[in-house]
């Protein structure tokens, strides 16, 4: 998988040599990835394949743990717990509404947010224009659909071959 990824990345950079400046290494897992030109040259970035997300989660947990340890935070926490029930209910409604909206537009995101965001950055860099999120989602959906068709054809072909040559 990583070899395949590097193969594509090399091919892209070979075709668009100016993107070489946007190449950066994840400070955590050391994988190479393309970043937005405004971040070119930075060495403190984490990759969008999990490290960035993991770090964000870690920081956020650390922040809230530190906050709730303070006196002010301790008071807030009991308030929060009381309000949580009501909020959970509201969140559920908001989520349902969003699901409905996505469903109507047939734009269900096929991948997680960091991956989509990375695809958006890289595609925009390659095409030298701003590619919007909807385009990315449609593109990924098309590729996945094609992949499923290919898989089915392969399966059909195998079945047909098995029949053609009985053991």
Q: Which residues bind Zn ion (CB under 5 A)?
A: 26, 28-29, 47, 51
Min CB(50)–Zn ion separation in Å:
6
Residue 30's region, left for phi above 0, alpha for psi from -120 to 50, else beta, is left
Minimum Å gap between C-beta 53 and Zn ion is 10
User: Residue 148 is encoded by which pair of tokens?
Assistant: 């499923």
Minimal distance, residue 30 CB to Zn ion, in Å: 7
The smaller minimum CB distance to Zn ion, of residues 28 and 138, is found at 28
Q: Please count the residues of the chain.
A: 167
Q: At its nearest, how many Å lie between Zn ion and the CB of residue 47? A: 3
Rounded Cα distance, 125 and 123, in Å: 5
Distance of closest approach, residue 26 Cβ to Zn ion, in angstroms:
3
Please identify, using beta-carbon distances, which residue of 29 and 149 lies nearer to Zn ion.
29
Distance CA 102, CA 149 (A): 24
Q: Are 9 and 1 in contact (CB under 8 A)?
A: no
Place of tokens 């906050």: 67
Question: Each residue of 40-57: b (16+ CB within 10 Å) or e?
Answer: eeeeebbbbbbbbbeeee
**Cβ-based nearer residue to Zn ion, 59 or 142:** 59
**Are the C-beta atoms of 46 and 52 separated by less than 8 Å?**
yes
């Amino acid at each position: 998988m990583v070899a395949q990824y590097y193969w594509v990345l090399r091919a892209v950079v070979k075709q668009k040599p100016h993107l070489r400046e946007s190449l950066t290494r994840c400070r955590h897992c050391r994988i190479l990835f393309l970043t937005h030109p405004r971040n070119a040259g930075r060495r403190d970035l984490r990759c969008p394949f999990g490290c960035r997300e993991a770090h964000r989660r870690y920081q956020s947990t650390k922040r809230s743990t530190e906050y709730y340890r303070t006196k002010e935070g301790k008071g807030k926490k009991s308030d929060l717990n009381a309000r949580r029930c009501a909020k959970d209910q509201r969140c559920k409604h908001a989520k349902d509404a969003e699901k409905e909206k996505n469903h109507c537009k047939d734009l269900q995101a096929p991948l997680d947010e960091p991956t989509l965001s990375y695809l958006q950055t890289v595609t925009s860099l390659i095409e030298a224009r701003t590619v919007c999120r909807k385009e990315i989602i449609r593109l990924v959906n098309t590729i996945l659909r094609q992949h499923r068709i290919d898989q089915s054809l392969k399966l059909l072909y195998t079945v047909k071959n098995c029949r053609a040559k009985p053991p």
